[in-house]
Structures are given as C-alpha cells and as structure tokens.
Amino acid sequence: MPQVGTLKTWNEDRGFGFILPASGGPELFVHIKAFPRNTPPPAVGETVFYEAGYGNDGRARATHAYFYFVRFP
C-alpha cells in the first residue's frame, strides 16, 4: 500500500536521499532507481508516494517512489 512523505534530502551526485514519512517515524532511504525512468530528478520538499521495503542489506528503504504531481523534464 503506498505511503506518503516529503523528500527531506537529496544528493544528486550520488543519486539518493531520504524521505520523511507523513505518518511519522524515522527517515527512509530512497535511491534514484526507485523513481520512474525519464522523470526529472527529485527536489527537496516535494511530496512523494512510495512503498516501504527492505534492501539487500536488510535496511528499510523506499521502493516504487513517484511524485504527487506529474513532472516534466
């Protein structure tokens, strides 16, 4: 089930950032690969929908992330 949060930080050079969940709790790691292809890079402060999951390392992360509004490059 999709969750909603705000992109708190984004490192364009490394392609990752952290989402602050609207429901509270710790920040969640998100990688650029979680977003659809051919979309502009995320921007801090944007509302993001995502599914929470776990990476290969067992740590929580956001998966299948997308923006609240349609964005154009």
Q: Answer yes or no: CATH 2.120.10.30 is held by domain 3-67.
A: no
Calculate the CA 4 to chain-centre distance: 9
Q: What angle do CA 3, 40, 59 make, to 5 degrees?
A: 40
Calculate the CA 66 to chain-centre distance: 7
- pTM listed for this prediction: 0.87
Where along the chain do its domains lie?
A: 3-67
Per-residue pLDDT of 15-66, as tens digits, reads 999 999 999 999 999 999 999 988 888 899 999 999 999 989 999 999 999 9
